[in-house]
Amino acid sequence: MLRSRAYRSGMLNRFSYYSSGLFLVMVLTYVGLCTSGARRDITTLDGTTHHRVLVVRENPEGIYVQTEKGAKFLRFRDLPVEIRLEFDYSPRREAAFLKNQEQIRKRKAKATAAAKKKKSKIESRKKRKVYEKTYQRFLRKILGESTSTGTGFFISNDGYLVTNNHVVDDAATVHVVTTDKQVFTAKVVTTVEPYDLALLKVKGRHTALPLSRMRNARQGEDVFTIGFPNPRYQGVTAKLTDGVISSDAGIDDFDKVYQITTPVQPGNSGGPLFNRNGDVVGAVVSRFGDWMIVHTGALPQNVNYAVKSFYIHAMLKLTSGFPREKLAKPFPADMELPDVIQRVKDATVLIVIH
């Protein structure tokens, strides 16, 4: 047993000795190569001399060398003719090599850009999912805690929007939810109870709608509205309905509103009434059915009302400091109806009252 242990110990010592010797031989060989006669001085065409140069490797463009001052790359074009001949330099081979290197560089750059784009898409998708979940939770929370809801629309890109006075009347907090899923707290700037109109302001830049300057739209003119009826039950996606202007006066010939056939429901109040050009001709205000049920018990069909845009302009004139020059300009005359509807949708907001 003792002899066996001594034997093993001796073998280990011999192995360590041989290993150390092998390593030393390798080091000396490397040092010998680095300090061999291959080192020389090279002077480039501009007169710069590199001392004790060791050529490490070459390519058709030039040579990689180790100098006293560190590693360098010397192009054949900058070297004397004898060195070019020594390494069999060919301008044609150099051009082909550089072209190939450029193609490789472009492929790598393209692959890198594609990888970055893919990574960006994945990260963007993850962020959207997180934001969507946060938005949906917040929206359910504010809708669950709300006392009422309505609709509004931007009239300037810097955040002024119009809705009904009865939508924001006695509100402690007014939240504005845009169709691109942003939520803002709105400030009530002006209210005009006789017209049932209110002007609000939020931060940010927004798509805005042009206000018609006509005192009255034409009877029979096609009109549309986009709004958020019954959002707790019908969801918070904007809804479009259409109809015509059936009269330029309301109940008892009240001349500040239009009678319209455009269907509206609770939650549409304050929404834009617009024509085929995208001009806002009014703001949806009420349904005749609610009044008739209370007073007669009957339920009329397609009888609703919208405050005329003329009185929106009147409200703005009453608003001190309102920048009228920032009102939205009319849409292009050749814009097709689906594009008009999309622009109006982008400018229409859900209003949540607390």
Q: What pLDDT, in 10s, does the model give residues 276-327?
A: 999 999 999 987 655 555 556 556 678 899 999 999 999 999 999 899 999 9
pLDDT, tens digit (0-9, with 9 covering 90-100), for 282-296: 999 987 655 555 556
Say if residue 226's pLDDT is above 50.
yes
92-115 core/surface letters (b: 16 or more CB in 10 A; e: else): eebeeeeeeeeeeeeeeeeeeeee
Q: Which of 48-57, 131-140, 207-216 has the lowest mean pLDDT?
A: 131-140
Kind and range of the H or E run holding 198: strand 197-201
Q: How confident is the model at residue 128 (pLDDT cuts 50, 70, 90)?
A: confident
Say if strands 148-154 and 348-353 run parallel, antiparallel, or are unpaired.
Answer: antiparallel
**3-class DSSP state of 123:** helix
- Mean pLDDT of all residues in 196-208: 97
pLDDT at 10: 55
**Amino acid letter for position 349:** V
pLDDT at 269: 96
What's the CA gap between 301 and 23, in Å, rounded?
100
Summary mean pLDDT of the chain? 87
What's the CA gap between 10 and 46, in Å, rounded?
63
Give the burial class of 133: count Cβ atoms within 10 A of its Cβ; 0-12 exposed, 13-18 middle, 19 or more buried: exposed
Long-range contacts of residues 136-143, Cβ cutoff 8 Å, at least 24 apart = 138/183, 139/177, 139/183, 139/236, 142/175, 142/183, 142/352, 142/354, 143/231, 143/232, 143/236, 143/352
Residue 345: count other Cβ atoms within 10 Å of its Cβ.
17
What's the CA gap between 161 and 346, in Å, rounded?
13
Q: How confident is the model at residue 275 (pLDDT cuts 50, 70, 90)?
A: very high
CA-wise closest residue to 227 among 242, 205, 212: 242
Say if residue 187's pLDDT is above 70.
yes
CA 270, 271, 277, 282 torsion: positive or negative?
negative
- Mean pLDDT of all residues in 78-89: 92
Query: For a pLDDT cut of 90, what percent of the chain falls above it?
Result: 68
Say if residue 26's pLDDT is above 70.
no
pLDDT, tens digit (0-9, with 9 covering 90-100), for 29-73: 444 444 444 688 999 999 999 998 999 999 999 999 998 888 999
pLDDT at 28: 40
pLDDT at 4: 53
Q: How confident is the model at residue 338 (pLDDT cuts 50, 70, 90)?
A: very high
Q: How confident is the model at residue 140 (pLDDT cuts 50, 70, 90)?
A: confident
Give the burial class of 281: count Cβ atoms within 10 A of its Cβ; 0-12 exposed, 13-18 middle, 19 or more buried: buried
Higher local confidence (pLDDT), 170 or 350: 350
Kind and range of the H or E run holding 35: none
**3-class DSSP state of 243:** strand
Q: How confident is the model at residue 344 (pLDDT cuts 50, 70, 90)?
A: very high
- Mean pLDDT of all residues in 4-15: 53
CA-wise closest residue to 349 among 111, 154, 201: 154
Question: Please, where are the H alpha helices in the chain?
Answer: 2-34, 81-86, 91-145, 165-168, 231-234, 288-295, 309-318, 337-347
